[in-house]
Chains A and B, each alone.
Chain A
């Protein structure tokens, strides 16, 4: 096993374990800083957006609309919003993207 991958997995393991373990083990009640709570509330949305949107609008560091990605994304947004199914979203996205490949 590659050393850097082992480091990555152990590092990720540690930073996911500590927030789960420390409060359960050492605190019966903890007042969480309100500001941090608000910020953390938005962090997943922010980082997922940062992953998702450049896929549609950039090619390398060039700003350029990726029509096949963008057109496949629209039904997936709608499906995910209404049905809330990860598995279904992946299948739908793959199918639409694949079909668009014949048209575009």
Chain B
């Protein structure tokens, strides 16, 4: 079904009649369905189930770290990167300067270059403003869901739009809800001091995909304790991250030669 031309709203008073806004919206929604918007929304449901509780957790912990509810919402909207946001509030509460936080965020999210270049092959006919929205909302999860539809998804931005808009709504909505209701979870009772460490442990374990990752974790674990002992301030985090991933690169060469 073709999208009808916009009805002349200012000339037409009878909106309900044929060719009015009602028909236009129906046609628009139908054309979106044809292009997969609705399929995208459906595909987002598992992501929503994952994002909502984590978003709520982020909202609660970010308020505890001193952010306002507005700042929480703005960060989820503009940054939209789970691990980096948790890392940021941990670093904020440690008094680490903005520059280090932004640098760490940059390195963590550089991996998106790979996913984005993978998508680009399939979205060559999509205009730049649309690509801006599509790329800003791309996450590991939306990428994973979308690549399972890749040949079909080719030049169908509506599918990705539906998938990603709903996913980000869940993330932003969850974190704002968590921030607004964070006063319900106050103090140090109920094991709250361990909420963030537990979250980081799980994020860490999810990153361990093979034995190489495991050994980098061991190297980073030992060196981080050493660096924290040896250095003042919080430089140990970035230093460990660069040192241990550098060691990983070196070991990778050794492992490749032996295999």
In B189-244, which residues have CB < 8 Å from any A CB? 189-195, 197-208, 212-213, 216-217, 219-222, 224-225, 227-229, 232, 236-238, 240-244
Shortest Cβ distance from residue B201 to the other chain A in the assembled complex, whole angstroms: 5
Q: Which residue of B lies closest to A60 (CB)?
A: B228
Q: Which residue of A lies closest to B227 (CB)?
A: A50
Cross-chain contact A16 with B81 (CB below 8 angstroms): yes
- Is B108 on the interface with A (CB-CB < 8 A)? yes
Cross-chain contact A9 with B75 (CB below 8 angstroms): yes
Enumerate chain B residues within 8 angstroms of A20, measured Cβ to Cβ: 109, 112, 115-116, 135-136, 138
Of the residues B105, B123, B219, B241, contact of A15 by C-beta under 8 Å: B105
In A41-66, which residues have CB < 8 Å from any B CB? 41-55, 57-58, 61-63
Cross-chain contact A93 with B194 (CB below 8 angstroms): yes
Q: Which residue of B lies closest to A57 (CB)?
A: B225
Of the residues B79, B116, B198, contact of A24 by C-beta under 8 Å: B116
Docked complex Cα distance between A42 and B16 (Å):
59
Enumerate chain B residues within 8 angstroms of A79, measured Cβ to Cβ: 202
Q: Please report whether the interface of chain A is mostly helix, strand, loop or mixed according to DSSP.
A: helix
Cross-chain contact A90 with B199 (CB below 8 angstroms): yes
Of the residues A11, A46, A48, contact of B102 by C-beta under 8 Å: A11
Cross-chain contact B241 with A50 (CB below 8 angstroms): yes
Docked complex Cα distance between A101 and B189 (Å):
10
- A50-B132 contact, Cβ under 8 Å, with A29-B121, A73-B197, A94-B191: no
Binary contact track B62-75/A, C-beta < 8 Å → 1, others 0: 00000110110011
Please give 7 more A-B residue pairs, beta carbons under 8 A apart, in addition to A13-B79, A21-B116, A27-B120: A16-B105, A40-B107, A42-B249, A44-B207, A52-B201, A79-B202, A94-B191
